[in-house]
Amino acid sequence: MVLEATMICIDNSEWMRNGDYSPTRFQAQTDAVNLICGAKTQSNPENTVGVMTMAGKGVRVLVTPTSDLGKILACMHGLEVGGECNLAAGIQVAQLALKHRQNKKQQQRIIVFVGSPVKYDKKVLEMIGRKLKKNSVALDIVNFGEEDEGKTEKLEALLAAVNNNDSSHIVHVPTGPNALSDVLISTPIFTGDGEGGSGFAAAAAAAAAGGVSGFDFGVDPNLDPELALALRVSMEEERARQEAAAKKAAEEAAKQEKGGEQQSTSQDATMTENVSAAAPEAENKTSDLMDDENALLQQALAMSMDGPAASLAVRDTDMSEAAADDQDLALALQLSVQDSTKDQGSETDMSKLLADQSFVSSILASLPGVDPNDPSVKDLLASMQSQPEASSDQKKDEDKAPNEEEKK
């Protein structure tokens, strides 16, 4: 709540036509200026803000320090871009404008937007800085736009000459997707010297953060709290349901992988088939989010086992469309597709495997966190039972192999 008179120096030189800050550098600057004016006038009603341009026909004061926000915003309208920026003269005129402020009790501050190259010497800038410091004028520099060699150095030197007890700041804004104003909101230029920020700045920061990072549900809780709450609750319910389904799918995947430990490629192919059968099943149950978890679970299980089981998990991952962007995955996928086309095992093999109660219960017992006496597990087994019975020989072979693995 510092009582302050601020002069904002705008760079409206030709360099501001560039579009590397959207929509143009000049527009981004104008938005930032509007925000700053709002923040200053809100933080203390007696604060005054003035605006001037440094380029164009010459250094010109558009509005002398006033607390009337409407006047300030109006004068920003209809500004033209052109000419060359005269930094030294601009700062000196700003100092003069501040000297003749009406309320002498206000602290003096100049905010300079430097978007074009600085043609002045470091020495000249330092002298200006010293003069400002002597008259206890604080200076905030917003360095954006042209990246001239030496520009940053010169501005830092200017800041060092002006800075008195950390009341002056410099902000470098690189080009990027973030708007100039968003970047500035979090800087001391907005929040004042460590005072914790005005309410305006804080609210603006929250809105900006919401827009930039994206609220979870694309809705700003400030704007529509009920909708945001409803979305959040439904998301959590869905997540809980998916976790339960994921657990089931993970059990099946674990069984599949244990089966896949066998070295025969035909088994692998069979497993692939069965996995592909299981995967659509998985897909039917869940959304993409669940597939992510499913894939991750399988990958984790695969890591603890090795070789074919890993590639199995990889294939399954691909089947569930979860990690299509992984190149290694894509490669493994290609291989697996080739493999699977060779062998056309019976689709019922897996179901026969599962139909064997004893086998299934033994598998389940070995899985951590799964209680074979759990009613949901029993239901699952019952559903498995309804599938056609496999031949006993096949069952026995498959039975023995997993049992051996379990003993490992």
Partner 1 sequence: MACLHDHSCEDHDCSSDFSLYKHVDLSKVSALNEAVPGSVKTVFKAWEQRLNSSEGHLESNDGDPELLVFIPFTSDVKIKSIAVVGGADGTSPSKMRAFINREGIDFSDAQNMQPIQEWDLVENLQGVLEYQTKYSRFQGVGNLTLHFPENFGADATQIHYIGLKGEATQLKRDVVATIVYEVMPNPSDHKTKADNGGGLSQVE
**Residue 92 contacts partner 1 per CB under 8 A:** no
Q: Minimum distance from CB of 49 to partner 1 (Å)?
A: 19
Pick the binder of partner 1 from 17, 130, 172, 239 (CB under 8 A): 130
Residue 137 Cα distances to 3, 11, 92, 103, angstroms: 13, 20, 11, 15
Closest CA to 201 of 41, 74, 3, 48: 41
Q: Minimum distance from CB of 110 to partner 1 (Å)?
A: 14
Distance separating alpha carbons of residues 174 and 147, to the nearest angstrom:
9
- Per CB under 8 A, which region of 44-52, 129-137, 177-185, 210-218 contacts partner 1? 129-137
**Residue 194 contacts partner 1 per CB under 8 A:** no
Under 8 Å CB-to-CB from 247, ≥6 apart: which residues?
A: none
Q: Looking at residue 390, what DSSP letter applies?
A: P
Q: Which is nearer to partner 1, 129 or 259 (CB)?
A: 129
Distance separating alpha carbons of residues 263 and 201, to the nearest angstrom:
65
Per CB under 8 A, which of residues 164..193 are in contact with partner 1?
A: 164-165
Residue 404 Cα distances to 262, 306, 357, 398, angstroms: 10, 16, 17, 10
Q: Say which residue the tokens 């700053």 belong to.
A: 36
**Residue 99 contacts partner 1 per CB under 8 A:** yes
**Residue 136 contacts partner 1 per CB under 8 A:** yes
**Residue 160 contacts partner 1 per CB under 8 A:** no
- Per CB under 8 A, which region of 59-67, 132-140, 243-251, 277-285 contacts partner 1? 132-140
**Residue 133 contacts partner 1 per CB under 8 A:** yes
Alpha helices in 44-166 (DSSP H): 69-76, 87-99, 122-134, 151-162
Neighbours of 375 (CB within 10 A): 8
Number of residues located near partner 1, criterion CB under 8 A:
9
**Strand ordering across the sheet containing 60-66:** 60-66, 48-53, 4-10, 107-114, 137-143, 169-172
**Residue 104 contacts partner 1 per CB under 8 A:** yes
Distance separating alpha carbons of residues 300 and 312, to the nearest angstrom:
12
Pick the binder of partner 1 from 14, 58, 135, 382 (CB under 8 A): 135
- Per CB under 8 A, which region of 5-13, 133-141, 211-219, 316-324 contacts partner 1? 133-141
Q: Which is nearer to partner 1, 1 or 233 (CB)?
A: 1
Q: Which is nearer to partner 1, 68 or 389 (CB)?
A: 68
Give me the residues that bind partner 1 (CB under 8 A), please.
99, 104, 130, 133-136, 164-165
